[in-house]
Chain A
Amino acid sequence: MSRYILTVAVLSVVVLALAALSLVAGPAGIGVIQGLSDMLHGRETIAATIIGQIRLPRMILALLIGGTLGLSGAALQGLVRNPLADPGVLGISGCGALGAVLVFYTGISAVWAPALPLAALSGAGLATLLLLALTRGGTLVLVLAGAALGSMSAALLALTLNLVPSPYASYEIMHWLMGSLSRASLHDVLIASPGLLIGSALLFSTARSLDALTLGEDVAQTMGFPLRAVQWRVVLGTALAVGSGVAVAGGIGFVGLVMPHLLRPLAGARPSRLLLPSALGGAALLLAADLFVRLPVSGAELQLGVVTSLIGTPVFFWQVWRLRGRPV
C-alpha cells in the first residue's frame, strides 16, 4: 500500500471516530443510537431533539468547515506555490468577517437573521472579485493584493469596533470574531452546506492544474492549463467555502495553513496529492478542537477559533524555524 493511500485511510478512520465521538460527547446523558433512531422515525423525544437540533448540526458543520478550510489552504498553497498561503493570507476570511460584522453593527441581523450569512458570503465574494480585478498579473500580485485586502478588512473591523454604540454589540462582535460552533443549528447547516460543497468541488477540480503549475505558469499554460482559469476556480471555490464557513462559525484560523504543512511529508510533493489529505486533516482538527472546547475545564466554554489558533501558531512557528535561511 502506498504511503498516500495509507495516509488517506488513517485520516478517514480518525475523522469517522471523531465524528462519532462528537455525537456522543455532551452534558446530557442520552443514548445516541436511540436519539438517531427516534429522529429518523420522527419521534419527538428529548434524545431526538438533542441529537437532531444540537449535536448533529455541530458535528456536520465542524466536519465540513474544517474540511473546506484544510482543502482551501492546500489549493491556495498549490496556486501561489508558497507554503505559507492560506484563506486568511488572501484576505478572503477577513472580508467575510467584515461583511458579517457590518450587519451586527447596523443591527440588520437582529431584524432579519439570514442577513448575517448573506453578508459574510458577500464580503468573501466581493474580496474575490476585487482580487480577480487586481490580479491581471502573476501570483506575486495575487498574494500582494490578498495582503492589501487583509489589511483593509482589519482596519475596517477596528473602525467598526471603535465606533460601535453599545457594549453589547461590541461583545457580540468580539465573540463572533473568535469563532464558535456552540450555537450551530440545523438552519446553519442548510445555509452553509451548498457553499461548502460547491466550493469544495471547485477546489478539488483544480488538482491537475495545480500539478501543472509546479512547472511554472508558462509551461502550465502551454500544457493547456491557463493560469487565469485555475485562479478563478481556486479563488471562487475558496470564497464560497470560506464565506459559508465564516457565516455560521465566525473566524476560525490556521486550519488551512497548518494541515498542508503537517501532511506534505506524508502525502508527497505533488499538489494534487495534498488536497484530500488536507481536507480530511482539517475536518479531524476542527472536530477535535470542537470536542476540546466542550470539556468542562473551566467555567466558560472556550471559543473554537481561539483553540485552533493556539494549536496553529506553534506549528506555524515550527515551520518558519524549519524554513529559516531557505528561499521560500
Chain B
Amino acid sequence: MILQTDTISLTLQSNRLLDDIALEVLPGEVLGLIGPNGAGKSTLLRIMAGLLRPETGRVLLDGQDLFTMPPEERGRHLAYLPQEAPAAVGMSVRDVAMLGRLPHRRTSSAAQNETAVQQALEAVGMTAFADRSSASLSGGERARVLLARALAVQAPILLADEPVAALDPAQALTVMDLFGQCAVQGQAIAVVLHDLALAARFCTRIAVLSRGRIVSIGTPADVLTDALFAEVYGVAVRRCGEVAVPWSLVSSARRP
C-alpha cells in the first residue's frame, strides 16, 4: 500500500506551516522525516495520519482520499505512534497491545488477535511483561508497549513521531532495527527523527524539511551532505567514518 501526499499546504494564523509537500511512502521503505524544530515534520505526519486536514492538496492511500475513507477501514490500513502518549491507566501490558486490534474487531477472530498481540510483544521484547500493569513500567518499557500496540494493528502503513526520543542508545537501535525488519516484510514506514546518525543508518530514504518545505529528498548518502547541514541546521559537521556528527555552529544568527 502506498501513502501519498499530493502537494499539501497548511497555513495556521498566517503562518505557512507546510508548503506544497509532495511525498510518497512506499512498501518496503523506512522514510525518515528530518529537519530542525518547527520545520513542520510532526504536522506533516499528523496530516498523513488523517488527524489534520490540509488546506490544499490531498492525502491518498493507494489512490483513495484518506479523508473520505470510512474511519474503521482507515484504522486497519494505517497505524500511528504519537510522540507523547497519555500516562498508562494501569491496564496490563497485553491489554494495551490488544487495543491495537480494535480496528479489526469486526473482521478478525479472537485467535488472530491473540497471535498478532503475541507477535507484537515478542517483536519489542515485552513478552515476559505481558501480565504486568503498564503503570509499573519504566519510560523506555512503556514506549515499547505503545510501539507493540502500533505493531499489533498489522497495518501496511506505520507512521511514528520521534519513536526513539525517550529511549537509551541500545533500545533506540533495537527499535530502529525493528522498523527495518517491518519494512523488509513489506510495510511502508515513515518516521520523524532528530537523531541524524540513526536516520543515516536505518532509513532507506530521507526527506529534509525546513520551514514547511521539502528541501532535499533521497538516500541518506545523497541527502546528508555538509552543505545541507550548514544550510538547514546551521551546523558544521565532522565525519566519523560514514556518519556525520554535528560539531560546531556555523551561523547561529541564521536560525530563528
Contact = CB atoms under 8 A, between A and B. Distances in A.
A8 to B, nearest CB: 18
B51 A269 contact: no
Interface residues of B, number: 33
A212 interface: yes
B46 A218 contact: yes
B62 to A, nearest CB: 17
A192 B25 CA distance: 54
A175 B211 CA distance: 64
A224 B103 contact: yes
B89 A269 contact: yes
B105 to A, nearest CB: 7
Interface stretch (B75-83, B194-202, B219-227, B233-241): B75-83
Interface string B127-155: 00000010000000000001001000100
A216 B99 contact: no
A18 to B, nearest CB: 30
B122 interface: no
Interface in B88-146: 89-91, 95-96, 99-100, 102-103, 105, 133, 146
A81 B86 contact: yes
B85 to A, nearest CB: 6
B86 A216 contact: yes
A225 B102 contact: yes
A208 B46 CA distance: 23
The listed residue with most B CB atoms (<10 A of its CB), out of A212, A214, A226, is A214
B163 to A, nearest CB: 13
A270 B91 contact: yes
A216 B82 CA distance: 9
Nearest to B71: A224
Contact of B89 (A81, A208, A222): A81
Given A222-B78, A223-B103, A215 B71 contact: no
A223 B102 contact: yes
Nearest to B100: A223
B90 A216 contact: no
B51 A222 contact: yes
B85 A224 contact: no
A214 B75 contact: no
B102 A208 contact: yes
Nearest to A216: B86
A224 B74 contact: yes
A181 B218 CA distance: 72
Contacts, number: 72
A219 interface: yes
A211 interface: yes
Nearest to B74: A224
A212 B49 contact: no
Nearest to B95: A270
Q: Label chain A's interface by main secondary structure.
A: loop
A205 interface: no
Interface string A55-90: 000000000000000000000000001000000000
A218 B72 CA distance: 14
Given A222-B50, A224-B102, A214 B74 contact: no
Contacts of B74: 222, 224
Interface residues of A, number: 19
A36 B143 CA distance: 60
Interface in A81-134: 81
Given A222-B49, A222-B78, A215 B91 contact: no
Contacts of A215: 85-86, 96, 99, 146, 149
A226 B102 CA distance: 13
A223 B95 contact: no
Contacts of A216: 82, 85-86
A7 interface: no
A268 interface: yes
B91 A219 contact: no
Interface string A190-226: 0000000000000000001001101110110111111
Given A225-B102, A270-B91, A214 B80 contact: no
A287 B145 CA distance: 42
Contact of A223 (B75, B86, B91, B96): B75
A121 B96 CA distance: 38
Contacts of B149: 215, 219
B117 to A, nearest CB: 14
Given A225-B71, A269-B89, A219 B82 contact: yes
Interface in B53-91: 70-76, 78-82, 85-87, 89-91
Interface string A262-293: 00000011100000000000000000000000
Given A218-B49, A224-B102, 15 more contacts: A81-B89, A208-B102, A211-B99, A211-B102, A212-B102, A214-B91, A214-B96, A215-B86, A218-B46, A222-B74, A223-B75, A223-B103, A224-B71, A224-B73, A270-B91
Interface of A: 81, 208, 211-212, 214-216, 218-219, 221-226, 268-270, 327
20 contacts: A212-B99, A214-B96, A216-B86, A219-B80, A222-B74, A222-B78, A222-B79, A223-B99, A223-B100, A223-B103, A224-B72, A224-B74, A224-B75, A224-B102, A225-B75, A226-B71, A268-B91, A269-B95, A270-B95, A327-B87
Those 7 A-B pairs whose CB atoms lie nearest each other, nearest first: A224-B75, A269-B90, A224-B72, A224-B71, A222-B80, A223-B75, A269-B91
